[in-house]
Each structure stands twice: as C-alpha cells, then as structure tokens.
Amino acid sequence: MIVIVGGGVSGLAIGWRLAQAGQNVTIYERNKAGMESTWAAAGMLAPQIEAEYGEEMLLPLTMASRKIWPDFAKELEAETEIHIDYRREGTIQVSLNRDEQEQLDHRFSFLSRNQLEVEKLSAYEVRRLEPHISRAVTGGIYSPQDHQVDNRALALALKIALQKAGGILREQSSVEEIVIDEGCVTGVIVNGDKITVDHVVVAAGAWSRNIPGIPEISRPPVRPLKGQMLALEMPENAPLIAHVIWGPGNSIVSNVYLAPKSDGRLVVGATVEEMGFDKRMTGGGLLEILRSAWEVLPGIYDLPLIDSWSGLRPASRDDAPILGKSGIAGLTYATGHHRNGILLSPITASEISSYIIEGKDSNLISSFGVGRF
C-alpha cells in the first residue's frame, strides 16, 4: 500500500495518478483536503511572469508542467464534470513609473534571453488590452501562455477524481509518525495504530519538516512563507479585467497580482512574510495589497470586498520543489513547491507516480532531489 501524507493539490494529484495506475493508495490529511495552501493560492499557471534571476534551473520543470496543463484540465473535467475555469487570456505585467519601467525592461531582456514567449507592450497597448488599468501605466510585458485556473475548484475536482479512481482519502487523520526500520519505511502511525505500508509520499507542504519519525538529517528543508490575500467582487457581465495583471508591489508585497475568475471574483495578493506558522491577517497586509492593487487598477475602489485569507507557501531553501528520493527506502518527497504548487501539480503527479511505480526518477526531476541541499 502507498500512503500519501497531506491532501493538498500535490498529494491529491499524485494519489489520483497512482489510483488510475491501479495502485492501492490512501491519503491522510490532518484537516480537510485542499484547504491550506491549495485553497489560499491564486491559481496562476505563470512560469514566465514568475521566473526570477538565479532560478533558471526551475524553468524546464515549470514549463513542462504548463505544457501538460491543458490536457490535465480537460481530463479532470471530463472525469468529474467539475468546471475548473482554465483561462487562456494570459498575463500582463505592468509598470507605473520610470523606475519601474526600467525594472520591467530589465525583466523583459531576462525573459527574452531565456527564450520565453513574451511581448513588449507600450502604455497604449496595455490600455487597449485592459482599458481599466491606471492611466499612469508606462508599459508592460505580455505573456500569452501564462494561464490560470480556479484552484479551489481544482482541489474539489481532484478529490472526486481520486475517489472515482479507487483512491482513499482520510480527512481529519494525522500521520503521527512515519515508522522507519533500518533505513527503510515500514509503516505509519495513525490514531495510535501502526499501518503497514510499502511506500510513503510526504506531500505535507509547509508542515513537511515536522513529521515525526524522519531523522533530522533527512528532513526536507521547507519553511512556511506567509501570504495574505483578498477577493473583490467584479460586476456581473462587466469584469474589470480579463487577463491576470501583475504590478509593482511595496514593502511586504513584492509584486501585486490581480487574477479575475469567471465567477466574478477578483483574487488579489499577496504578501510575502517570514512569520513562521502565524497565519493571522494584519492591517498592514491588507493595506499594502489594496494600495498596490489600487495603483494598478483604480476601479477596484468601489468593488465589494468579499473575502480575505492567508496561507503558508511551502518554501524550500532554493524555492524549487523537493521531488523524489529522500535517502530512505520507501520514502518519497513531493514538497517545497513554494508559489508553484498549482502550476506544478500535473508534472508532480505524473513524475512522482511513475517514480514510485518504476523505481527510478526521470531526467526532469532528478535535479530536484533533497540531496541537492
């Protein structure tokens, strides 16, 4: 039997693929599945706009996942009849003053140098595509292949798909310990009982370091990285924007983004805060998100604020996921996805499930093992 620790998007997607392949798989989720980082995310599938200097090694993986996303979405929707709102309008990053424009030009040359499909936009072109963007806009970068999805619908669909394929989901069930005998996983302890298993996948997001039983030296270097977010309600039939818009941030918001969903929600985020496991919302957090968002899209001023929440990105030390072998036989990692958990879910699922079934990792994930730290 295969046990997956954690019912977030990674755990659910891996479980679905394993169950489809006829494996006996059970996911243990200490709360409700898909209700932590998966719920808190914005659903952006944007490897290009999110690409950063010094993180070029991540691109082959994020681009590979983006490539299979459309088919993944189609298959999942066909399987479950749940609409996960895969949207193809693309993403536009804008700047609002001369200094930011220079930064944006710098970014454009970085993205072009990496052979990414991006287009430079003048202020006029930005406002032609999105007329509600601030008149202060100086220019933009258009990334047509950076799509988005409704991450909450995704979690629900994955949950159903997993169970339809024969996978088992146990919610409100913590794995209290992973039992390791002589360097080999033999079981997990749930509710005080030992369950014998062949394989354990740790997909516990920000909590992946804290599962008892794994020796200190083998623990994945993952920490929680807090993000506060909010949602506004756009007028029905007259959404303010159609593309995902990225703009400059300030203080604890490094970049602000606005992701319009087809149900009228405008998801706006996010702060980046080293606050441990403290998930409380703060006045400053909301203030900085709203201020940055309002500077990009002044029209949000009058929109109803319908929700606010925060989540914990599972950040690894180099922001890249930790995938595959753990150094302990029968223990596999699929964690540390940082801000890319939703984007990377299809590739995480296919790569980790075939790693478990076939026993060897592919070229794509071999450089993302925990051994790199």
Partner 1 sequence: MVSTALESGLQIAGKTFNSRLLIGTSRYPNQQVMLDAISASGAEIVTVSVRRVSFESGGEGLFDLLRGKYQFLPNTAGCFTARDAVITAELASEALETKWVKLEVIGDEETLFPDVEELLKAAEELVKKDFVVLPYCNDDPITCKKLQDIGCAAVMPLAAPIGSGMGIRNPYNLRIIREQCSLPLIVDAGVGTASDAALAMELGMDGVLLNTAVAGAQNPIRMAKAMKLGIQGGRLAFESGRIPRKLYATASSPSEGMADL
Structure tokens at 117: 């499909």
Using the minimum distance from each CB to partner 1, give the nearer residue, 60 or 235.
Answer: 60
According to CB under 8 A, which residues from 153 to 192 bind partner 1? none
Q: CA 226 to CA 221: how far, in whole Å?
A: 16
Using the minimum distance from each CB to partner 1, give the nearer residue, 50 or 150.
Answer: 50
Name the nearest CA neighbour of 78 among 149, 182, 1, 157. 157
The single residue among 53, 81, 237, 301 that binds partner 1, judged by CB under 8 A, is 53
Which residues touch 260 (CB under 8 Å, ≥6 apart)?
Answer: 234, 239, 240, 241, 242, 243, 244, 266, 267
The one segment of 69-77, 186-194, 237-245, 316-324 that binds partner 1 by CB under 8 A: 316-324
Q: How far is the CB of 303 from partner 1 (least distance, A)?
A: 28
Q: How far is the CB of 242 from partner 1 (least distance, A)?
A: 30
Q: Does 278 bind partner 1 (CB under 8 A)?
A: yes
The one segment of 4-12, 228-236, 239-247, 274-282 that binds partner 1 by CB under 8 A: 274-282
Total residue length of the chain: 373
The single residue among 223, 291, 294, 357 that binds partner 1, judged by CB under 8 A, is 223
Structure tokens at 236: 């029905």
By CB under 8 A, the count of residues binding partner 1 is 24
> Rounded to whole angstroms, what are the CA distances from 249 to 89, 141, 246, 257, 335?
23, 16, 9, 9, 27
Using the minimum distance from each CB to partner 1, give the nearer residue, 264 or 369.
Answer: 369
Q: CA 324 to CA 83: how far, in whole Å?
A: 31
Q: Does 32 bind partner 1 (CB under 8 A)?
A: no
Strands 244-250 and 91-95: parallel
According to CB under 8 A, which residues from 238 to 267 bind partner 1? 252
Q: How far is the CB of 252 from partner 1 (least distance, A)?
A: 7
Q: Does 209 bind partner 1 (CB under 8 A)?
A: yes
The single residue among 36, 50, 146, 273 that binds partner 1, judged by CB under 8 A, is 273
Q: Does 55 bind partner 1 (CB under 8 A)?
A: yes
Binding characters for partner 1, 95-134, by CB under 8 A (x = yes): ---------------x------------------------
Q: Does 52 bind partner 1 (CB under 8 A)?
A: yes
Q: Does 276 bind partner 1 (CB under 8 A)?
A: yes
Using the minimum distance from each CB to partner 1, give the nearer residue, 117 or 274.
Answer: 274
Positions touching partner 1 (CB under 8 A) are 52-55, 110, 209-210, 219, 221-224, 252, 273-278, 315, 317-319, 373
